């Protein structure tokens, strides 16, 4: 929008000369009009610039209301269209929500590389260091992906996007992530994972044609289940965190929109995704930071010295699963908000099928960083984390050809290499 305003001012200056010369420049009326326009222009520049400098309050609401100013106009629409333009035969055009997020960035880049049309949407909230999101945005910008700054709760914005581009698919990755943060800010889970999801589905069901939707659920829906490996057919009615509960609610809401409106919906239960450009709130990430700083790290253990283990899944494997989900998604069957026939409804585990104890994770990091970690062992608090996750991926293998191929050692090596180049040499420090 900043560019837009400036180019308008530039045009005004250029157009001024032929016209102005005919009028007498020294006439006080002309002078007054001219300076009024300049003054008005400056006010406009000031107003349109202000949303990009984040509000000191940092509250969700102020961010949202300001961001409504940052979209619209012919130059903006042109940018949206160009980013979403399909450049390969049989390509798809995808709206990626949460595009400045970890998975969103990788999926957007992969789609763009194949020649698909990609438009990003992200509210750039400050749940974790927004400079990392801005760096991912810059990365995508260079590959031709534009990220619209806005919230999925902004229905007018979503409607506008569908008016400008007839998206064939939506990759919905925007969410409030994290398990323990729900005790600090429970409302943000409801705002993004439930209200935001419904807002998106409402716009998708009314769009013509309706897009097919692939969205991020979570392995956390398995909650306190003890039967392993976790299978999609297992009951998921004992979530251990509000985060898990909102993702589970999302799966039920997806069922409803599929049933009533004929939306094609695929939910992906991600299992502890890690890799370059990852999320700083995840253990492998802040362990790396703290080990390098010589700061003590807390390792959780379950009752009776039980191991805490995670089915760590490397980002490239997840991206393949996401793209395969988009490629195998059938068309939605509704139009004009009405269902015309049964539509596809799927849920897949995207894991790695080999849980690794968190102590092994730390050992690998110590070797890669060549630094011994200072460890303190803590009891696993009963505030959301579960003892282990382990995916049965036979369904994803059968339906998507999903075959994870990166083990934790290989994946962490790539993560550490990225971490050192991004934060290393005193350039920035992980907050
Ligand atoms: C994994 O799930 C499939 C059904 O999708 C089931 O047939 C198979 O027995 C499960 N495997 C294990 C090891 O539980």
Please confirm, yes or no, whether 222 is among the known catalytic residues.
Answer: no
Cβ atoms of residues 219 and 270 within 8 Å: yes
Kindly give the distance from the C-alpha atom of residue 229 to the centroid of ligand 1, in angstroms, as a whole number. 8
Length of the chain: 431
**What is the distance between the alpha carbons of residues 186 and 209, in angstroms, rounded to a whole number?**
35
The mean pLDDT value for 116-133 works out to 97
- What tokens were used for 320? 């393949």
pLDDT at residue number 45? 52
Of 61 and 29, which is predicted with more confidence?
29
Band the pLDDT of 35: cuts 50, 70, 90: low
**What is the distance between the alpha carbons of residues 51 and 66, in angstroms, rounded to a whole number?**
6
The mean pLDDT value for 17-37 works out to 54
Q: Determine if ligand 1 sits within 6 Å of the CB of residue 353.
A: no
On the question of pLDDT at 63 being above 90, the answer is: no
pLDDT at residue number 22? 43
Q: 219-238 pLDDT, tens per residue?
A: 999 999 999 999 999 999 99
**What is the distance between the alpha carbons of residues 310 and 361, in angstroms, rounded to a whole number?**
9
Kindly give the distance from the C-alpha atom of residue 311 to the centroid of ligand 1, in angstroms, as a whole number. 16
On the question of pLDDT at 49 being above 70, the answer is: no
**CA torsion through residues 165, 135, 131, 420, sign:** positive
H/E stretch holding 11 reads helix 2-22
pLDDT at residue number 34? 59
**CA torsion through residues 222, 223, 229, 235, sign:** negative
Q: Which of 243, 261, 274, 314 is labelled catalytic?
A: 243
**What is the distance between the alpha carbons of residues 385 and 272, in angstroms, rounded to a whole number?**
12
CATH 3.40.50.720 fits domain 175-272+313-352+392-405: yes
H-type alpha helices, 177-282 = 186-189, 197-206, 242-261
**What is the distance between the alpha carbons of residues 180 and 188, in angstroms, rounded to a whole number?**
13
Ligand 1 atom, smallest distance to 395 CA = 5
On the question of pLDDT at 30 being above 80, the answer is: no
H/E stretch holding 363 reads helix 358-369
Looking at the chain, the whole-number percentage of residues with pLDDT higher than 70 is 82
Q: Whose CA is nearest to atom 5 of ligand 1?
A: 395
On the question of pLDDT at 408 being above 80, the answer is: yes
Between 13-22, 103-112, 190-199, 412-421, the lowest mean confidence (pLDDT) is in: 13-22
**What is the distance between the alpha carbons of residues 297 and 291, in angstroms, rounded to a whole number?**
7
Q: 156-201 pLDDT, tens per residue?
A: 999 999 999 999 999 999 999 998 899 999 999 999 999 999 999 9
The mean pLDDT value for 115-122 works out to 98
Q: Which residues contact 283 (CB under 8 A, 6 or more apart)?
A: 358, 361
Measure Cα distances from 78 to 71, 83, 143, 146, 161 in Å: 12, 9, 17, 11, 11
Phi, psi dihedral angles at 13 (to 5 degrees): -65, -45
Q: 77-95 pLDDT, tens per residue?
A: 999 999 999 999 999 999 9
On the question of pLDDT at 306 being above 90, the answer is: no
Phi, psi dihedral angles at 392 (to 5 degrees): -95, 115
Q: SS3 for 126?
A: coil
pLDDT at residue number 180? 87
Measure Cα distances from 289 to 12, 145, 283, 364, 423 in Å: 51, 30, 10, 14, 9
Q: Whose CA is nearest to atom 13 of ligand 1?
A: 229
The mean pLDDT value for 241-252 works out to 97
Its pTM stands at: 0.84
Kindly give the distance from the C-alpha atom of residue 393 to the centroid of ligand 1, in angstroms, as a whole number. 8
Q: Determine if ligand 1 sits within 6 Å of the CB of residue 335.
A: no
**What is the distance between the alpha carbons of residues 21 and 196, in angstroms, rounded to a whole number?**
54
Cβ atoms of residues 76 and 150 within 8 Å: no
Band the pLDDT of 305: cuts 50, 70, 90: confident
């Amino acid at each position: 929008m900043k560019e837009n305003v400036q180019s308008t001012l530039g045009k005004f200056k250029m157009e001024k000369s032929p016209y102005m010369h005919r009028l007498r420049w020294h006439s006080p009326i002309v002078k007054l009009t001219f300076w009024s326009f300049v003054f008005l222009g400056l006010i406009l520049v000031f107003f349109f610039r202000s949303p990009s400098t984040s509000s000191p309050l940092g509250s969700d609401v102020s961010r949202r209301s300001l961001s409504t100013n940052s979209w619209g106009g012919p130059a903006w629409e042109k940018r949206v269209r160009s980013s979403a333009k399909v450049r390969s035969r049989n390509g798809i055009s995808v709206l990626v929500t949460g595009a400045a997020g970890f998975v969103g960035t990788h999926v957007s880049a992969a789609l763009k590389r194949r020649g698909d049309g990609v438009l990003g949407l992200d509210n750039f909230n400050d749940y974790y260091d927004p400079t990392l999101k801005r760096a991912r945005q810059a990365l995508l910008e260079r590959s031709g992906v534009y990220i619209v700054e806005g919230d999925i709760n902004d229905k007018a914005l979503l409607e506008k996007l569908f008016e400008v581009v007839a998206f064939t698919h939506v990759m919905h990755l925007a969410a409030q992530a994290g398990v323990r943060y729900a005790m600090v800010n429970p409302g943000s889970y409801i705002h993004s994972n439930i209200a935001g999801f419904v807002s998106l589905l409402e716009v998708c069901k009314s769009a013509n044609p309706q897009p097919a939707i692939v969205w991020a659920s979570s392995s956390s829906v398995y909650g306190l289940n003890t039967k392993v490996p976790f299978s999609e057919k297992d009951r998921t009615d004992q979530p251990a965190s509000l985060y898990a509960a909102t993702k589970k609610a999302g799966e039920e809401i997806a069922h409803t929109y599929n049933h009533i409106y004929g939306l094609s919906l695929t939910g992906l239960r991600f299992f502890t995704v890690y890799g370059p450009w990852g999320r700083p709130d995840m253990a492998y990430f802040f362990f790396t930071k703290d080990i390098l700083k010589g700061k003590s790290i807390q390792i959780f253990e379950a009752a009776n010295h039980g191991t805490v283990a995670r089915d760590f899944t490397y980002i490239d494997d997840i991206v393949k699963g996401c793209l395969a989900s988009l490629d195998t998604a059938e068309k939605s069957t509704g139009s004009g908000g009405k269902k015309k026939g049964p539509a596809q409804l799927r849920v897949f585990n995207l894991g790695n099928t080999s849980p690794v104890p968190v102590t092994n994770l730390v050992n690998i990091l110590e070797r890669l960083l060549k630094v011994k970690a200072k460890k303190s062992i803590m009891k696993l608090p009963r505030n959301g984390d579960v003892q282990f996750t382990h995916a049965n991926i036979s369904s994803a293998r059968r339906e998507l050809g999903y075959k994870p191929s990166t083990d934790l050692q290989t994946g962490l090596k790539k993560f550490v290499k990225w971490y050192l180049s991004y934060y290393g040499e005193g350039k920035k420090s992980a907050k």
